[in-house]
């Protein structure tokens, strides 16, 4: 999974029907900016965990949606001590 920071939102009217009602957030991850479906109520500025590939469709809010990246957690702490 990827550690990321929510930097914005993306809106689209013409889209796959299964995306209706889903929040598409812009997330800064190590390799650059991606779009991820939010499944835990994340918002701008939150540090989040993004899962990719087929895992992105496992959260209940993402089932059947044509997504390859989902936010699955809002980070409390990253400890390297």
**Site residues for a copy of itself per CB under 8 A:** 1-3, 7-16, 18-19, 24, 26, 30-36, 39-42, 49, 51-59, 64-70, 72-81
Q: Using CA atoms, how far apart are residues 46 and 9, in angstroms rounded to an integer?
A: 13
CA atoms within 13 A on the CB side of 8: 7
Closest CB 39 distance from a copy of itself, rounded Å: 7
Nearer residue to a copy of itself within complex by CB, 14 or 21: 14
Q: Using CA atoms, how far apart are residues 37 and 31, in angstroms rounded to an integer?
A: 18
Nearer residue to a copy of itself within complex by CB, 21 or 68: 68
Closest CB 21 distance from a copy of itself, rounded Å: 13
Smallest CA-to-CA distance from 24 within 13, 10, 14, 3 is with: 10
Query: 9: which 2 tokens?
Result: 């939102």
Closest CB 1 distance from a copy of itself, rounded Å: 4
């Amino acid at each position: 999974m990827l550690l990321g920071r929510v930097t914005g939102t993306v809106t689209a009217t013409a889209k796959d029907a299964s995306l209706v009602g889903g929040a598409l957030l812009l997330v800064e991850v190590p390799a650059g900016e991606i779009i991820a479906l939010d499944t835990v109520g994340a918002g701008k500025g939150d540090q989040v965990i993004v899962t990719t590939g087929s895992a992105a469709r496992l959260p209940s809010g993402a089932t059947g949606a044509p997504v390859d990246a989902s936010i699955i957690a809002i980070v409390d702490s990253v400890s390297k001590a």
